[in-house]
Amino acid sequence: MAANFGNKFIKLYNGNLMPSVGLGTYQLVGDEVRQVVDKAIYLGYRHIDTAHSYNNEGEIGDIVKSRIGTGAIKRGDVFLTTKVPSVCHDPCDVVDCVELSRTQLDTKYLDLVLIHNPWTLKRNEKSNSTESIQFVRYNIQKTWRSLETCVKEGSIKSIGLSNFTTGQIQSILDGCSIKPANVQLECHAYLQQRKLYGFCQTTDITLTAYSPLGAHGRPERHRFEDQPVLLDDPELDSIARSHNKTKAQILLGWLLQRGFCVVPKSKSEQRLIENLDIFNIKLNRREWTQIQTMDKGIRYFKFKNMTGHPEFRPTEDF
């Protein structure tokens, strides 16, 4: 139960340390992401989570470089996570994508690179429409081997997966020479991911929870009528009062206690401060059980647009 209490870092199996609280940057672009990342680094954040598809790596790289230039931080102080998109699963595209991310983030190495999704897509080069995306069946182990090569060459320190099921993770483990160090997935009190959590514990793979507060700022395409607001759940009220914390802090602290890294997103300075002020939260057994009973299997990101893809497995835990 108390896997990571009081620990600001999670140790990956390869010995690298990952700050257990990071800044999520999904949907943050342009000047907005510059301002948020700059503010976050000033407040003490040392883990920035981005992705090729977020279209904000250049802005993040500018801010990190600027902070390094002023002497506020050193490159070794900040942990940069990014992701290879579904349209770049071909081995040649993987290498190009990694090099582009390194260039945009203005760094000699990337701390953690994830395959963003298990499903491979192909874009029609003659059209920029999202409707031009085609489903492709692909051997994802080839994609993984390209990431392994990047690790061996020194451009990436650790590699992992995102939105993979237990079966898909196992398929990578069956054919890899460098195993995944981290799996990033949607996880919160309404979606506790116990099966995948147990699987990753037995294989010594760390976990990162995205949308740990229930993805209240998610795009309209991911909003459905059967999705209650996690932060409105009254089950959290008494726990928050007893610890003199907000409900958001309790949810993040609970995940840290489970051993997760968390990457909440916020534009508010107050919430950025609060999201870092969670290392002194230790839930007792009654509170732990109370949160466990909140598990409803509610997934805020259903990826329904992937229905029909051979690697989209909504009935398998992921």
The average pLDDT across 137-159 equals: 97
Tell me the percentage of the chain whose pLDDT exceeds 90: 86
Residue range of the domain that includes 126? 9-303
> How far is residue 173's CA from residue 19's CA, in Å, rounded to a whole number?
25
pLDDT at residue 126, as a whole number? 53
More confident residue, 196 or 129: 196
For the segment 65-121, what is each residue's pLDDT rounded down to a tens digit? 999 999 999 999 999 999 999 999 999 999 999 999 999 999 999 999 999 999 999
Q: Answer whether residue 104 is part of any domain.
A: yes
Catalytic, out of 13, 26, 45, 54:
54
Closest CA to 97 of 41, 156, 45: 156
Q: Answer whether residue 44 is part of any domain.
A: yes
pLDDT at residue 1, as a whole number? 36
Neighbours of 136 (CB within 10 A): 16
For the segment 234-274, what is each residue's pLDDT rounded down to a tens digit? 999 999 999 999 999 999 999 999 999 999 999 999 999 99
> How far is residue 288's CA from residue 4's CA, in Å, rounded to a whole number?
14
Q: Give the chain's mean pLDDT.
A: 93
Q: Answer whether residue 312 is part of any domain.
A: no
Q: Answer whether residue 313 is part of any domain.
A: no
Of the pLDDT bands very low, low, confident and very high (cuts 50, 70, 90), residue 3 is: very low
pLDDT at residue 243, as a whole number? 98
Closest CA to 150 of 84, 79, 52: 84
More confident residue, 162 or 302: 162
Of the pLDDT bands very low, low, confident and very high (cuts 50, 70, 90), residue 125 is: low
> What SS3 state is found at 253?
helix
The average pLDDT across 268-292 equals: 97
Q: Answer whether residue 179 is part of any domain.
A: yes
**pTM (predicted TM-score):** 0.94
pLDDT at residue 155, as a whole number? 98
Residue/partner pairs of 37-43 with CB below 8 Å, 24 or more apart: 37/63, 37/64, 38/63, 38/66, 38/67, 39/269, 39/272, 40/272, 41/67, 41/72, 41/73, 41/78, 42/72, 43/269, 43/272, 43/273, 43/276
pLDDT at residue 237, as a whole number? 97
More confident residue, 200 or 216: 200
Q: Answer whether residue 58 is part of any domain.
A: yes
More confident residue, 128 or 118: 118
Residue 5 has pLDDT above 60, yes or no: no
Of the pLDDT bands very low, low, confident and very high (cuts 50, 70, 90), residue 294 is: very high
The average pLDDT across 276-283 equals: 96
Of the pLDDT bands very low, low, confident and very high (cuts 50, 70, 90), residue 284 is: very high
Q: Which residues pair with 127 in a beta bridge?
A: none
What are the tokens at 128? 């920029």
Instruction: Classify strands 9-11 and 156-162 as parallel, antiparallel or unpaired.
Output: unpaired
Residue 156: CB partners within 8 Å, gap ≥ 6?
A: 98, 109, 110, 112, 113, 147, 150
For the segment 11-63, what is each residue's pLDDT rounded down to a tens digit? 999 999 999 999 999 999 999 999 999 999 999 999 999 999 999 999 999 99
H or E segment at 287? Answer: helix 285-292
CATH of the domain at 170: 3.20.20.100
Indicate the number of domains in the chain: 1
pLDDT at residue 133, as a whole number? 78
What are the tokens at 158? 């650790």
Residue 227 has pLDDT above 90, yes or no: no
Active site residue 54: yes
Q: Answer whether residue 309 is part of any domain.
A: no
pLDDT at residue 144, as a whole number? 98
pLDDT at residue 218, as a whole number? 72
pLDDT at residue 103, as a whole number? 98
Q: Answer whether residue 317 is part of any domain.
A: no
Of the pLDDT bands very low, low, confident and very high (cuts 50, 70, 90), residue 317 is: low
